[in-house]
A and B are shown apart, each in its own frame.
Chain A
Amino acid sequence: MGAIHLTDMHKFFGDVHVIKGVDLTIDEGEFVVFVGPSGCGKSTMLRLISGLEETTSGTIQIDGRDVTGLGAAERGLAMVFQSYALYPHMTVRENMGFGLKIAGSDKAVTREAVDRAAETLQLGPLLDRKPKEMSGGQRQRVAIGRAIVREPAAFLFDEPLSNLDAALRVQMRIEIARLHKRLSKTMVYVTHDQVEAMTLADRIVVFNAGIIQQQGAPLDLYRRPSNLFVATFIGSPKMNIIPCQPGEGGVQLPDGTALPVTGVAGVPAHLGIRPEHIQVVAPEAALMRGTVGVAEHLGGDSFIYVDIDGLEPLTVRIAGGAAIAEDAEVGLSFDMADAHFFDAEGNRIAAT
């Protein structure tokens, strides 16, 4: 139950082409997270799957059944909205049982299903309250409970944690992960928060401008981004991108630094290096030298922004509370194995 298959999906809003040909297969029981910047089409994609938005062309299959022409009510999916969307005139119990009531279930069956879901989410004491008498976290938990009660083929989450404060977000994230483990149901989750994406997903699908940029396991995306967009989108702080050109024995940076690189297939135009892969070393042993422009000390980590002549400032992440003062001269070094190379079109050049 819950395998979703999308073929050549397109969506127009008037003349605006929002989804430009998406093919995607979501396996049964998989936790798939859609990420991407605002307006990339990830939420629209979810709404197309849910049936709340009509597909312009392409087909949607759920468990082998073509549901493209069916309305939201007939697809057997459940959705959790960013704004909770609880029915304000009903109690928690009525909210959670609403789907079953519409489906014409027996009252006792509904009651039991609601009780079971409430127990899972520790909503027992809240069952007789109205939505306005609850906090944001409780409301979102009820919204999730409402989705569970119906035992849908798949769950759709549309940025469910965005309205919660930071502490609650972490707690709810863990609860959702636990829920997925227990229910083993297909879940499709839209977020712009990479931490949520990295921690929850079996597979991340990165969207930009209405097409899939890359999909894969979270760490695959982190280790082998297939293009510049994914490289800079996944990982925080984002990857440093330095323009480069082929040079003697490897590549040459705009400031004249030559780096020894072997086994790159193609013509490298961009070098990418993650902030956490750069080390601060003594200037004489360094690949590059610069001055610290800004230093941000977060306690566990420090981010320093190093100005280098002829280059954009580089972000460096240093573990521990290393005391590096602003305006200090530093040398930077990194292992060439951690570097990523992209060609002029921004596509990854695989190391041979």
Chain B
Amino acid sequence: MGRGLGLGLVLGLGAVWGFVIAVVFGVAITLVFGVAATLTGWQAALAGIAASFAWLSLRMPARPRFAVAIAVYALVLCLLTYFAPLGFAFGDRSLGAVMVLLALGFLTVGAVAAAFHGRDWRDLNRYRFEEVLGRALKGLGFVFFGTIVLLPFYAMLMTSFKKQADLLQNPLDYSINLNQGLSSLFSSYIELFVNFNFGRFILVSSFVSVMTVLLTLAASIPGAYAISRLRFPGRTAFSRSILMIYMVPAIVLVIPLYAVFSQMGLRDSLGGLLIVYPATTIPVALYMLQGYFRGLPAELEEAGMMDGCSRLGVIWRITLPLSLPAIASVALYVFMIAWNEFLFAFMFLDSPEIFTLSRGVVSLNSSEIPRQHLMAGAVIVTLPVLAIFLFFERFLVTGLTAGSVKG
């Protein structure tokens, strides 16, 4: 390992960061300011290489060297894009373009320098090489996942605050006018709750999701306990068949179930949904819980039996309290599945008074309903799950059994 590898790493990171930052910036500018930017990815990659080469080869103190590298970046990008970085020439928006250019350079050189923080590119051994590479990959991971999560969410949220006229005028402009007053800003939401019955959809969805969670837990806790603790004939076959059920895709089941449920009068009813939802979630819940139960020391339960508990008493007083983190995870997971479920709700439910939220959003999807209403509906579907997840996340800790047995 030597200078060659270090040089390669610096230039490579310059290229990758140059590309990524320019693309993300271009998309973000387009979405946030509504100005159509051209994605100049490969030019930015070349500029990044040039800037990082300047950064590593110049012999000056750190700060001036950094500034020169940014200048090199800006110069190269301007030359390669015929003085129109991100697609807009200096003529119309000079100040903005210069600022964007400098910001791009700062972020690109800064990302390369941050990866090399405290490490000299001329003096890389295997460990330091991996350390620098690891930092860079971590940063790229954050940018990648952050972008693919936040940008659509941003687009959804902003669209839901827009007016029909604005959307028709410039569909790419996501900026909103905050001076219009709250009722005007939230007009789509008000419309959904007043005219489209979304309050009821929320109630129905909550009812269906909570019932699904309860039914799933009621069935899967004893089931998982039996599979993981009790010895009975056919135990392994039983536990394997759970996975088999899980592997049958819902789309295969939906047509036969549609036929059967229609005949039985269960189709357009919440009862029908409450048969199908637990049936799809119980296998997953069983699988998650049995793994956790298996990890609990059997001696704890034996101690409970020696202390005079029956098998059910042991489950209630010892196994369940210790399994709370696992049960919370399963409950959360099942809740999210039931809340977001669309296929069966869409196929089975016809009466608007028992629409779940996801079914309700689809009912908006016609040419008469403006897009901002659809987006507002999507926000209404997303926010409760987000809030519940953030709240319950703290309960999903493991390691409650620490200290019970040798360790």
Let me know if A130 and B403 touch, CB within 8 A: yes
Let me know if B403 and A52 touch, CB within 8 A: no
CB nearest to A76 among chain B residues: B308
Of the listed stretches B40-48, B198-206, B209-217, B294-302, chain A binds B294-302
Contact of B308 among A50, A52, A102, A163 (CB under 8 A): A102
Let me know if B404 and A86 touch, CB within 8 A: yes
Is B303 an interface position by the 8 A CB rule? Answer: yes
Contacts of A131 in B (CB 8 A): 403-404
Alpha-carbon distance between A83 and B299 when the two chains are bound, in angstroms: 8
Contacts of A81 in B (CB 8 A): 299, 302-303, 405
Alpha-carbon distance between A78 and B303 when the two chains are bound, in angstroms: 9
Contacts of B402 in A (CB 8 A): 88, 132
Contacts of A84 in B (CB 8 A): 404-406
Is A250 an interface position by the 8 A CB rule? Answer: no
Let me know if B403 and A85 touch, CB within 8 A: no
Contact of B403 among A78, A88, A102, A103 (CB under 8 A): A88
Contacting A at CB under 8 A, from B306-331, are: 306-310, 313, 317-318, 321-322
Is A239 an interface position by the 8 A CB rule? Answer: no
Let me know if A85 and B299 touch, CB within 8 A: yes
Alpha-carbon distance between A86 and B302 when the two chains are bound, in angstroms: 11
Alpha-carbon distance between A77 and B307 when the two chains are bound, in angstroms: 8
CB nearest to B309 among chain A residues: A102
Let me know if B308 and A88 touch, CB within 8 A: no
Let me know if A85 and B307 touch, CB within 8 A: no
CB distance from A79 to the nearest CB of B (A): 5
Contact bitstring B119-158, A, C-beta under 8 A = 1, else 0: 0000000000000000000000000000000000000000
Is A136 an interface position by the 8 A CB rule? Answer: yes
Is B305 an interface position by the 8 A CB rule? Answer: yes
CB nearest to B403 among chain A residues: A132
Let me know if A139 and B308 touch, CB within 8 A: no
Let me know if B302 and A103 touch, CB within 8 A: no
Let me know if A87 and B303 touch, CB within 8 A: yes
CB nearest to A79 among chain B residues: B306
Contact of B401 among A50, A52, A77, A88 (CB under 8 A): A88
CB nearest to A139 among chain B residues: B403
Is B400 an interface position by the 8 A CB rule? Answer: yes
Contact of B305 among A52, A86, A133, A163 (CB under 8 A): A52
- On whether A85 and B302 interact (CB within 8 A), knowing A102-B313, A150-B307, the answer reads yes
CB distance from B317 to the nearest CB of A (A): 8
Let me know if A98 and B307 touch, CB within 8 A: yes
Interface-central residue, A87, A98, A102, A103, by most chain B CB under 10 Å: A87
Alpha-carbon distance between A36 and B299 when the two chains are bound, in angstroms: 22
CB distance from B321 to the nearest CB of A (A): 5
Let me know if B302 and A88 touch, CB within 8 A: no
Contacting B at CB under 8 A, from A104-163, are: 130-134, 136, 139, 146, 150, 163
Is A29 an interface position by the 8 A CB rule? Answer: no
CB distance from B161 to the nearest CB of A (A): 47
Contacting A at CB under 8 A, from B210-260, are: none
Is A72 an interface position by the 8 A CB rule? Answer: yes
**Size bin of chain A's contact surface:** 20 to 34
Is A182 an interface position by the 8 A CB rule? Answer: no
Alpha-carbon distance between A73 and B317 when the two chains are bound, in angstroms: 14
CB nearest to B322 among chain A residues: A89
Let me know if A88 and B400 touch, CB within 8 A: yes
Contacts of A83 in B (CB 8 A): 297, 299, 405-406
Let me know if B405 and A52 touch, CB within 8 A: no
Contacting A at CB under 8 A, from B259-310, are: 297, 299-300, 302-310
Contacting B at CB under 8 A, from A244-274, are: none
CB nearest to B404 among chain A residues: A88
- On whether A85 and B309 interact (CB within 8 A), knowing A131-B403, A132-B402, A133-B403, the answer reads no
**Size bin of chain B's contact surface:** 20 to 34
Alpha-carbon distance between A244 and B310 when the two chains are bound, in angstroms: 58
Alpha-carbon distance between A130 and B318 when the two chains are bound, in angstroms: 15
Contact of A73 among B305, B401, B404 (CB under 8 A): B305
Contact of B306 among A52, A133, A139 (CB under 8 A): A52
Alpha-carbon distance between A165 and B308 when the two chains are bound, in angstroms: 31
Let me know if A85 and B305 touch, CB within 8 A: no
CB nearest to A102 among chain B residues: B308
Is A58 an interface position by the 8 A CB rule? Answer: no
- On whether A146 and B405 interact (CB within 8 A), knowing A81-B299, A83-B297, A85-B300, the answer reads no
CB distance from B273 to the nearest CB of A (A): 36
Contacts of B404 in A (CB 8 A): 84-88, 131-132
Contacts of B305 in A (CB 8 A): 51-52, 71-73
Alpha-carbon distance between A47 and B304 when the two chains are bound, in angstroms: 14
CB distance from B229 to the nearest CB of A (A): 13
Let me know if A99 and B400 touch, CB within 8 A: no
Alpha-carbon distance between A11 and B322 when the two chains are bound, in angstroms: 32
Contacts of A71 in B (CB 8 A): 305, 310
Contacts of A52 in B (CB 8 A): 302, 305-306
CB distance from A54 to the nearest CB of B (A): 10
Contacting B at CB under 8 A, from A184-204, are: none
Contacts of A78 in B (CB 8 A): 306
Interface-central residue, B299, B321, B401, B404, by most chain A CB under 10 Å: B404
Contacts of B322 in A (CB 8 A): 88-89
Alpha-carbon distance between A89 and B401 when the two chains are bound, in angstroms: 8
CB distance from B307 to the nearest CB of A (A): 4
Let me know if B299 and A72 touch, CB within 8 A: no
CB nearest to A97 among chain B residues: B307
Let me know if A146 and B403 touch, CB within 8 A: no
CB nearest to B401 among chain A residues: A88
CB distance from B230 to the nearest CB of A (A): 13
CB distance from B34 to the nearest CB of A (A): 56
CB distance from B400 to the nearest CB of A (A): 6
- A: which residues have CB within 8 A of B? 50-52, 71-73, 77-79, 81-89, 98-99, 102-103, 130-134, 136, 139, 146, 150, 163
Given A89-B321, A99-B306, 10 additional A-B pairs, CB 8 A: A52-B306, A71-B305, A72-B306, A73-B308, A81-B299, A85-B303, A88-B322, A132-B403, A132-B404, A146-B307
- B: which residues have CB within 8 A of A? 297, 299-300, 302-310, 313, 317-318, 321-322, 400-406
Query: Could you list some 30 contacts between A and B, CB below 8 A?
Result: A50-B306, A52-B306, A72-B302, A72-B305, A78-B306, A79-B303, A79-B306, A81-B299, A81-B303, A83-B297, A85-B299, A85-B300, A85-B302, A85-B303, A85-B405, A86-B403, A86-B405, A87-B300, A88-B322, A88-B401, A89-B322, A99-B306, A102-B309, A102-B313, A102-B317, A103-B308, A130-B403, A131-B404, A133-B403, A163-B406
Instruction: For the complex of A and B, list the 7 residue pairs with the smallest distance between their C-beta atoms, beginning with the closest.
Output: A132-B403, A83-B405, A88-B404, A131-B403, A85-B299, A99-B307, A85-B303
